[in-house]
Amino acid sequence: FVPGPSIHTGLYATFLEVKKRVPEDSALLTWWDYGYAITDATGLATFHDGGAQTSPKTYFIARGLIGSDPEELYDITQYLATKGNRGISENNTSPEALLAAVRNPKLKPWNPIYLFFTADMTGKYGAISKLGSWDIVNGGSKPRGYQNLACNKITNEEMSCRGAKIDLKAGKINNQVPLKRLVFIRDGQVLREQKFGHAQGYTLQLLVSGQRIVEVQLIDDVVFRSNYNQMFLLGRYDRELFEETYNAFPFSRLYRVKF
């Protein structure tokens, strides 16, 4: 007997809710850590789980999550759903040939396919991005992630956080690092977005529950634009490609892929 990863009960409850909302022949594209637990709770197939995380699929799933192009995430999902690891090894004659195959899937999945985002992926984003940003032509990767700031005082003009004083008028951290935007998020929707006049810079995402700010995230522009951040945290997605089926923010979020 191997106990599963400790999963927040609020998150686990959403697994059971997902089961009620999707056809039983569906497959879920999610991150692998909870693959077994999700299959166990829902009876649904996942694209990879703890036993399969070293497969080439993992690279492409990670690439789709951290990339900023929803069409790439859509293509990857379609390719993995129809061709899987076998298709990857068949087309892996060169990095270019493999990417071209994945970006031009020929078959439509038989069964309904869903993207299932879970809150733990925010903390694991660094690991996901280390895998997904791997340069399959030249090697090397550029991992990025979410930095949580501990802030004790927030006014309209400034925020005092551990190691960071943030000027909300000038859009500067510690008077030197530029902020590009400030985003308030409630229930996985953007309440308000304030842009500062900097072409480059970081994004501050403030997660609001009721009237309280419960989390402050500092991210760079690449993370801000990622499919994961846009779809899970901001509720922004391409309606031609995806349909939101279930929003259980801050725990999880489910999208149907429109094939």
Residue-range domains of the chain with CATH:
9-142+231-257 (3.40.1380.40), 147-219 (no CATH)
Give tens-digit pLDDT for 125-144: 999 999 999 988 888 999 99
pLDDT above 60 for 27: yes
Give tens-digit pLDDT for 141-165: 999 999 999 999 999 999 999 999 9
Task: Return the SS3 of 154.
Answer: strand
Q: What is the mean pLDDT of the chain?
A: 93
Binned at pLDDT 50, 70 and 90, residue 110 comes out as: very high
pLDDT of residue 3: 52
Please name which of 219, 216, 182 lies closest in space to residue 202, comparing C-alpha atoms: 219
pTM of the model as a whole:
0.93
Q: Three-state SS across 173-219? A: ECCCEEEEEEEEEECCEEEEEEECCCCCCEEEEEEEECCEEEEEEEE
**Range picked from 29-33, 130-134, 190-194 for highest mean pLDDT:** 190-194
Alpha carbon distance 91, 243 (integer Å): 30
